[in-house]
């Protein structure tokens, strides 16, 4: 670990520093409509993970950007986590990344060139693992450290996997366990031990490249990654985009063991409360849910897992793809259901 604690410079870390869902929706509702060319396959309409632009009959360009303030103190680990998280949006669309640009904002008077270089090195390390170059970028002097990527990828137009293609009866499979945001809260309070930190780092730096394989499976109808709005928030995006509802079995949701303990003790992020305030009225919550579980399903995940909506007969293929790529805790967590026309999209946890 470095002697510089990066989290001391940030008011919130990782995807937990995203603008709250309700406020973001209000801001976007007031933004003017831009040009929408016919080649734009995916834009702002369903809050998808990336934009998709058709280049020709065989190729579509996938473009996204993601950056945030430090979720950990170690600069190299911060860079690795931020880069992994940014590339996840490419994989969530079923695409293969081809190139990235770095986005860097650092308090130059407070951080040494060596520390900043370690952040960049961490990001470059992940991009090498993904097989792509960081071909440029932009940097500014800023009060809080931020780092992330503009990521570009390619996919066949027929293999684009949106968050809006779910079908009634589809199974829901989650690739990574929940609890990263809670571990980050424990870290900032000085409560996270070496084992917990190792778990946090393992999950946040595991590339979601399995999305490429999942996008090629005909039984996969919709896909997204679970990040700053938590499982409930991102599942609601699938439901709204697909005009459906969902049912989730809490006992089947994979969780990080250390995070469960912290959640029971009330150690959670402020963002989980903001997330619940934004979508809690659209959730049917069981009275006998385990303590801390509400915070876990609304916990902001940094570099979280892929959430897949697939035909029931494709579940084993989806789980096999996850297992092959090292996602040992991937699990079937629920299903998509008909939405009540009068109530709209909802999630029923049981």
CA of 228: how far to CAs of 10, 13, 114, 124, 275, in Å?
Answer: 16, 10, 29, 23, 9
C-alpha distances in angstroms, 207 versus 23, 147, 232, 268, 322? 30, 17, 22, 25, 12
CA–CA separation, 335 vs 174, rounded Å?
A: 11
* Terminal alpha carbon distance of the chain: 41
pLDDT tens digits, one per residue of 162-220: 999 999 999 999 999 999 999 999 998 999 999 999 999 999 999 999 999 999 999 99
Single out the residue of 301, 200, 234, 179 nearest to residue 47, CA to CA. Answer: 234
Rounded Cα distance, 96 and 152, in Å: 8
Alpha carbons 30 and 39: distance in angstroms, whole number = 25
Report residue 3's pLDDT band, with 50, 70 and 90 as the boundaries. Answer: low
User: Considering the entire predicted model, what is its pTM?
Assistant: 0.92
Whether 310 is catalytic is no
- Other C-beta atoms within 10 Å of 291: how many? 11
Please state, in angstroms and rounded to a whole number, the distance separating the CA atoms of residues 278 and 230. 11
Q: Is the pLDDT of residue 323 over 70?
A: yes
Average pLDDT, the chain: 93
Confidence category of residue 14, pLDDT binned at 50, 70, 90: very low
Q: How far is CA 328 from CA 1, 2, 81, 321, 322, in A?
A: 28, 31, 19, 10, 7
Q: Using 50, 70 and 90 to split pLDDT, how confident is the model at 325?
A: very high
Average pLDDT over every residue of 138-158: 96
* Residues paired with residue 102 on neighbouring β-strands, in sequence order: 137, 149
pLDDT of residue 237: 94
Q: Where are the alpha helices (DSSP H) in 143-298?
A: 180-188, 194-204, 210-215, 230-242, 257-264, 270-279, 293-297
Mind listing the pLDDT tens digit for each residue in 56-83? 999 999 999 999 999 999 999 999 999 9
What lies within 8 Å, CB to CB, of 350 at 6+ separation is: 247, 248, 249, 250, 286
Confidence of residue 1 (pLDDT cuts 50, 70, 90): very low
Query: If pLDDT is split at 50, 70 and 90, which confidence band does 33 have?
Result: confident
Mean pLDDT, residues 35-60: 91
Task: Identify the pLDDT of residue 28.
Answer: 64
């Amino acid at each position: 670990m470095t002697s510089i604690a990066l989290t001391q410079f940030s008011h919130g870390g990782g995807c937990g520093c995203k603008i709250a869902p309700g406020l973001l929706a209000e801001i976007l509702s007031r933004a003017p409509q831009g040009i929408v060319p016919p080649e734009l396959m995916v834009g702002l309409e369903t809050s998808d993970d990336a934009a998709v632009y058709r280049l020709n009959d065989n190729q579509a360009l996938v473009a996204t950007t993601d950056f945030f303030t430090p979720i950990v103190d170690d600069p190299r680990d911060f860079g690795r986590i931020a880069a992994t998280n940014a590339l996840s949006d490419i994989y969530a669309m079923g695409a293969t990344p081809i190139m990235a640009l770095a986005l860097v904002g650092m308090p130059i008077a407070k951080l040494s060139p060596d520390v900043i270089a370690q952040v960049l090195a961490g990001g470059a390390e992940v991009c090498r693992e993904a097989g792509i170059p960081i071909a440029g970028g932009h940097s500014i002097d800023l009060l809080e450290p931020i780092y992330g990527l503009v990521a570009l990828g390619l996919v066949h137009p027929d293999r684009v996997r949106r968050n809006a293609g779910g079908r009634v009866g589809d199974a829901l499979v989650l690739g990574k366990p929940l609890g990263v945001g809670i571990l980050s809260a424990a870290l900032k309070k000085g409560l996270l031990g070496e084992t917990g930190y190792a778990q946090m780092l393992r999950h946040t730096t595991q590339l979601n490249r399995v999305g490429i394989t999942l996008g090629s499976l005909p039984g996969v109808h919709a896909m997204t990654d679970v990040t700053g709005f938590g499982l409930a928030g991102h599942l609601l995006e699938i439901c709204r985009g697909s005009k459906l509802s969902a049912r989730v079995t809490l006992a089947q949701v994979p969780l990080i063991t250390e995070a469960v303990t912290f959640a029971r003790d009330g150690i959670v992020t402020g963002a989980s409360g903001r997330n619940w305030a934004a979508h809690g009225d659209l959730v049917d919550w069981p009275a006998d849910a385990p303590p801390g579980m509400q915070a876990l399903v609304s916990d902001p995940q940094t570099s979280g897992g892929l959430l897949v909506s697939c035909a029931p007969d494709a579940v084993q293929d989806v789980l096999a793809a996850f297992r092959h790529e090292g996602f040992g805790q991937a699990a079937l967590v629920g299903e998509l259901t008909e939405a009540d026309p009068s109530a709209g999209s909802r999630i029923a946890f049981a």
